[in-house]
Amino acid sequence: MSRYNFKITEGQWQKNWEETRCFNVKEDDTLPKYYVLEMFPYPSGRIHMGHVRNYTLGDVVARYKKAKGFNVLHPMGWDAFGLPAENAAIANKVLPAVWTKENINTMRQQLKSMGFSYDWDREIATCDPDYFVHEQRMFIDFIKAGIAYRKKSWVNWDPQENTVLANEQVIDGRGWRSNALVEKKELTQWFLKISDFGDELLESIKSLGRWPDRVKTMQENWIGRSEGMRIEFNIVNSKDKIEVFSTRADTLFGASFCAIAANHPIAIELGQNNDRLAGFISKCNSLGTSEAQIETAEKEGFDTGLRVNHPIIDDKTIPVFIANFVLIEYGTGAIFGCPAHDQRDLDFARKYDLEVVPVVAPEDADLNDFNIDKIAYTGNGVHINSGFLNGTSIDEAKEIMAQTLEKNGSGKREVTYRLRDWGISRQRYWGCPIPIINCTECGPVPVPDEQLPILLPEDINFDDPGNPLENHATWKKVDCPECGQPALRETDTFDTFFESSWYFARFCSPTSPDGLIKNNVNYWLPVDQYIGGVEHAVLHLLYSRFFTRALNKCGYIDLKEPFSGLVTQGMICHETYKNADGQWLFPDEVVNKGGDKFINQLDGQDVIRGRSEKMSKSKKNVVDPEIIISDYGADTARLFMLSDSPPDRDLDWTESGVEGAWKYINKLWRMVDAPKNNLLHEMIEEPKTLDIEMLEIKQKIHQTIQLVGSDIERFHFNKAIARVRELTNILDSVDAEQSNNSWIYQEGCKTIIRLLNPIIPHITEELWKKLGYETFLAETPWPEHDPSLLTKDNVVIGVQVNGKNRGQIELPKDCDQSLAESLGLNLEGVIRAVANKKIKKIIYVTNRILNVVV
RNA sequence: GCGGACGUGGCGGAACUGGUAGACGCGCAGCGUUGAGGUCGCUGUCCUCGCAAGAGGGUGGAAGUUCGAGUCUUCUCGUCCGCACCA
């Protein structure tokens, strides 16, 4: 018996698959297609465990579907533009293009060593001009179709570095490198009109059958359609008015103030003559651009001194505040506050000592006793203190109020969305150049098609602050394509979500100079199974859904929904370690001395073990996949990734779990390779009759085939593995050398090998070969189960007394109640539990349970 | 702050539409095998009490619906993810 040498075997099979082009595909109308796609990686340098998990999940599906007879497209590529390449350029003086290319080469090798079944001929990198030339064309078509437009919007501005900062580069309101206070700056930027598609994107969520509900809910909430009213408040002693949007016009009688955003035109105007107000506005602006920051900041307001007339109550006026929690992007950038029924408004009213008038009370409330203190009442109820609305429900009141406001001309019904248009301009070098030339005479002019692609210049330096494209001496200087006068290129590049919004379509015709080819796209799309992290649940997935519709509108493709099935995977976690000084330690710097005792391998000092957290470089709780691959092999890594946790949950990476997977692989090898078993190169005939024990094993084999198949279909890989292990344990206890057993033993081993092939492809190929087969397991059809072997004649059910388990009885399948009762009531445990008590009722559920109620 | 999830032995997790909670694996314990080289095999293992038969308790917590709740309902606590320029 030989030891399993995974190093040789895994490399050999990877070579075999590659040389035979086993996983390269073509369109073939005679076969059903299946497109498996995992979210492509950003080439950050080396693959991490999150990649390994993501791509293992996809590979199981791809290999399984291939075995099930599908024509499987399973491609891989690189989301190659992005900020880290620029950071590397600044830190290490490497060109982003060079850095990225090197990373891709490393990571490609790493992925190959995992044995993933990619069609590498379809590899794409988004920083390749052959890729991004098409999105430059798309963008120009978007302009023509009215999907792309320019407007002003705010960015985080680092005044010291003269750079726009990403949200993650702003730490506590300061630039991450300069530590300078970040300002907000308004720039003219390009946007895509995703809001035009809001209703469609919302409606169509219903059609996404194989998407997780939580992702669908998150997208619905993100789009945030709300029906309400636009209401006018006239400013006292002025012709101007403030328009607010509200979904609770029914609470208008309780309005005690209006609040407008700091960037609201009225606020800006007032600020020009009022230094204190200008100071407040700039304080609001320093809050940053992220919604989380704005919403968690303490609610503050500034009384403008203006008052507005209440649109319903004749001689009532209410004050106008500027408030830091009112967003200019949402609704009209102004609200009316009804403190009694909105917690945020209530907090605000208490802080600034504003009136609180309850206008809705719970139906059973004692009105003399109903008042609002610190908790707003947001529930259902009946209107009070509301003039003509008194006594009505919230829904009735909304309708009556809508009619009233429409009649007197101070309001109209409106639907608004939380969803904002997608800003795609980035003031960065390492991205796809926006193909526009700005001419003082002609305005923004699209670059003529024959001049595409617009390439990035390579003679750049990152020493000067700001965008290298902007700083470049000559790159931006061109003549206007329309009037011929000197003009300037756009020096902004696309948001990198632009590239990832259509790459799945590019994989269908990855090398075509004509971009997306309808025949190919129509054959392969939609993606049947898309797999990636939950962190993309909203943005990437929503942008891709929108982009697909935009491409459809411009005639590029025929479909509207790009991903018919989606699985989102959880994160990889690992224990954290700190030394006494509170510094983080890498797992391989730490040794477990048994139990809870951990020491630092270098200095022998005690190490504090922390709880398991998401693997991150900052906490050093990372394990490099390459070490696992070289120590245990790809199959072990793959098996462990799938064994314990279901894909959508977080996975704890543990050394002992890896050991467990490793032991199983070696056990499998021994079971097939043990020389006495006559398994090698000798097909054993199935005996004409099987004794009862062997028949039961045969049934178990077929049950396992059936269950593993359905488990894989439903992404229950951990269960599939558990079932195969069960079968392995049963088979392992069979004395294979006994001649009446050898057939079932061989049959069982073959089944296990075939069922595990998508999960651990290398060792199973090798064992398959050892069993005498000459064709690849990767090209062998999935085993089929015999339905007649799935059911047993008898069932064991539980017998309960008052819902408490008191014993089991074995019954013929589907037997009737009288037999079950007669057996069940005579069980010792049941007799004891019933004792002298009177039997009230007996509940019998066929094949499930017998419950005696006393 | 808003939105979305998750919570079951010492640990990762099973439990299909409410029907014997703890499959499978890890760890641990005992026994055996091996003893140059990541051992291997068998048995046991939810907790408490008991030598045992058995009894009682048990799915973050509290309440509810039901003959029966890990699963359904309400409240509550804890942890995590997203929030539009990280990808």
Please state, in angstroms and as integers, the Cα–Cα distance from residue A748 to each residue in A164, A298, A444, A665, A692, following that order: 63, 66, 70, 16, 16
For residue A644, give both structure tokens. Answer: 């314990």
Nucleic chain B contacts, protein chain A, residues 427-456, CB cut-off 7 A: 427
Residue with the bigger pLDDT between A102 and A596: it is: A102
A632 touches strand B (CB under 7 A): yes
What whole-number distance in Å separates Cα of residue A245 and Cα of residue A249?
9
Q: How far apart are CA A405 and CA A408, in angstroms?
A: 5
Question: Average pLDDT for residues A425-444, to the nearest whole number?
Answer: 95
Q: How far is the CA of A221 from the C1' of B4 (A)?
A: 9
Q: Are A434 and A490 in contact (CB under 8 A)?
A: yes
Nearest to A233 by CA among A221, A224, A225, A242: A242
State residue A594's pLDDT score: 64
- The predicted structure's pLDDT at residue A838: 82
* pLDDT, position A840: 84
Q: What is the residue-wise DSSP string for A371-383?
A: --SSS---S--EE
> Residue closest to B69, CA→C1'?
A803
A595 pLDDT band, cuts 50/70/90, is: low
Q: Determine contact, residues A39/A536, Cβ cutoff 8 Å.
A: yes
For CA atoms A594, A597, A600, A603, the dihedral sign is negative
Between these two residues, A284 and A258, which has the higher pLDDT value?
Answer: A258
pLDDT at A608: 80
What are the residues whose beta carbons fall under 8 Å from the beta carbon of A660, sequence distance 6 or more? A640, A643
Å from the A494 CA to the B73 C1': 49
Crossing angle of helices A49-67 and A625-632, in 10° steps, is: 60
Q: Is the CB of A643 under 7 A from strand B?
A: yes
pLDDT level of residue A680 (50, 70, 90 thresholds): low
Question: Structure pTM?
Answer: 0.93
Tokens describing residue A382? 């009946």
Three-class SS of residue A178? Answer: coil
Q: DSSP string spanning A660-726? A: HHHHHHHHHHHHHH-GGG--TT-PPPPPSS--HHHHHHHHHHHHHHHHHHHHHHTT-HHHHHHHHHH
Contact between the CB of A674 and strand B at under 7 Å: no
Q: Which residues of A33-54 are buried (b: 16+ CB within 10 A; e: fewer)?
A: bbbbbbbbbbbeeebbbbbbbb
- Asked whether strand B has any atom less than 7 Å from the CB of A346, the reply is no
- Cβ of residue A485 lies below 7 Å from strand B: no
Range A706-712, long-range pairs (CB < 8 A, 24+ positions): A706/A785, A706/A790, A708/A755, A709/A782, A709/A785, A712/A60, A712/A61, A712/A64, A712/A758
Question: Is the minimum distance from the CB of A496 to strand B below 7 Å?
Answer: yes
d(CA A839, CA A841): 6
Q: What angle do CA A716, A717, A719 make, to 5 degrees?
A: 70
Which nucleotide, over all strands, has the C1' atom closest to the CA of A83? B86
Q: Judge if the beta carbon of A53 is closer than 7 A to nucleic acid strand B.
A: no
| Strand B proximal to A416 Cβ, under 7 A | no
Which pLDDT score, from 0 to 100, does residue A365 have? 73
Q: pLDDT of A293-319, one tens digit each?
A: 888 888 889 999 999 999 999 889 999
The DSSP output letter for A140 is: H
Q: Is any atom of strand B within 7 angstroms of residue A152's beta carbon?
A: no
A422 touches strand B (CB under 7 A): yes
3-state class (DSSP) for residue A138: helix
Hey, what are A84's tokens?
A: 């880290």
Averaged pLDDT for residues A410-434: 94
Reduced to 3 states (helix: H, G, I; strand: E, B; else coil), residue A590 is strand
Which amino acid is present at A686? Answer: E
Q: Gap from A261 CA to B85 C1', in Å?
A: 22
Q: Sort strands A124-125 and A77-78 into parallel, antiparallel or unpaired.
A: parallel
3-state DSSP of A292-319: HHHHHCCCCEEEEEEEEECCCCCCCEEE
Which range, A278-282, A293-297, A639-643, is most confident?
A639-643
User: What are the DSSP calls for A354-368, one per residue?
Assistant: ------EE-TT--TT
> A358-367, A595-604, A709-718 — which one is most confidently predicted on average?
A709-718
Rounded to whole angstroms, the distance from the CA of residue A492 to the C1' of nucleotide B87 is 19
Q: Do A163 and A466 touch, CB atoms closer than 8 A? A: yes
Residue A230 has a pLDDT of 94
Residue A24 amino acid letter: N
- Is strand B less than 7 A from the beta carbon of A714? no
Which residue gives the smallest C-alpha to C1' distance to B53?
A: A829
The arithmetic mean of pLDDT across residues A775-792, rounded, is 91
Does the pLDDT at position A1 exceed 60?
A: no
Q: Closest Cα to residue A758, out of A61, A22, A68, A13?
A: A61
Q: Report the distance from CA of residue A703 to the C1' of nucleotide B43 in Å, as an integer.
A: 28
Q: Among all strands, which nt has the closest C1' to A804 (CA)?
A: B68
* The token pair that represents A392 in the structure block: 């009505």
What is the per-residue pLDDT for A836?
76
Q: Is the CB of A802 under 7 A from strand B?
A: yes
What pLDDT was estimated at residue A575? 83
Strand B and A328 CB separated by under 7 Å: no
pLDDT of residue A16: 96
Q: How many CA atoms lie within 13 A of A244 on its CB side?
A: 26
Mean pLDDT, rounded, of chain A: 90
- A556, pLDDT greater than 80: yes
Subset of residues 211-250 in chain A with CB less than 7 angstroms from any atom in strand B:
213-214, 217-218, 221-222, 224
What's the confidence (pLDDT) of residue A679? 62
Phi, psi of A649 (to 5 degrees): -100, 165
H/E segment holding residue A819 = helix A817-824
d(CA A255, CA A310): 8
Across residues A635-648, what is the average pLDDT? 93
Q: What pLDDT is attached to residue A196?
A: 94
The nucleotide whose C1' lies nearest the CA of A810 is B20
- Per the CB < 8 A criterion, the answer to whether A600 and A586 are in contact is no
Structure tokens at A164: 């726009």
Asked which of A154-163, A238-247, A275-284, A679-688 is least confident by mean pLDDT, the reply is: A679-688
Nucleotides, chain B, CB distance < 7 Å: 1-6, 11-15, 19-21, 23-27, 38-42, 54-56, 67-69, 80-87
How far, in Å, is the CA of A370 from the C1' of nucleotide B51? Answer: 67
240-299 on A, CB < 7 Å from strand B: 289-292, 295-296
Poorest-pLDDT segment among A18-22, A177-181, A201-205, A810-814? A810-814
Of the candidates A436, A443, A455, A371, the residue with the CA atom closest to the CA atom of residue A133: A455
Give yes or no for a cis peptide into A453 (omega within 30° of 0): yes
Q: Distance (Å) from CA A798 to C1' B46?
A: 19
A166: the nucleotide nearest its CA (via C1') is B85
Work out if A380's Cβ lies within 7 angstroms of strand B: no
| Angle (nearest 5°) at CA A794 between A793 and A799 | 160
- Distance (Å, rounded) from C-alpha A62 to C-alpha A366? 64
Q: Which nucleotide is nearest to A214 (CA to C1')?
A: B4
- Beta strands in A491-642, from DSSP E residues, in sequence order: 493-494, 529-533, 566-569, 572-578, 584-585, 590-592, 598-600, 608-614
**Residue A396 CA to nucleotide B86 C1', Å?**
47
Strand B proximal to A700 Cβ, under 7 A: no
Q: What is the pLDDT of residue A42?
A: 95
pLDDT for the residue numbered A724: 95
- Give the pLDDT of residue A677: 58
Highest-scoring range by mean pLDDT, A61-75, A150-164, A223-237, A276-290: A61-75
Closest to A801 in 3D by CA, of A753, A836, A768? A836
Q: How many C-beta neighbours within 10 Å does residue A286 have?
A: 12
Query: Which nucleotide lies at the shortest CA–C1' distance from A808?
Result: B20
A692 vs A2, which has greater pLDDT? A692
What pLDDT does residue A557 have? Answer: 96
Phi, psi angle pair for A794, to nearest 5°: -115, 150
* Higher-pLDDT residue of A794, A311: A311
Tokens 């501005």 -> residue:
A157
CA to C1' distance (Å), from A800 to B49: 23
Q: Which nucleotide is nearest to A218 (CA to C1')?
A: B4
Report how far apart, in Å, the C-alpha atoms of A144 and of each of A86, A138, A191, A598 are.
32, 10, 13, 64
SS3 label, residue A396: helix
CA A680 → C1' B67, Å?
A: 57
Q: Strands A794-801, A477-479: parallel, antiparallel or unpaired by DSSP? A: unpaired
Please report the pLDDT score of residue A290 as a whole number.
80
Instruction: Give distance CA A11 / C1' B28 (Å).
Output: 37
pLDDT (0 to 100) of residue A568: 93
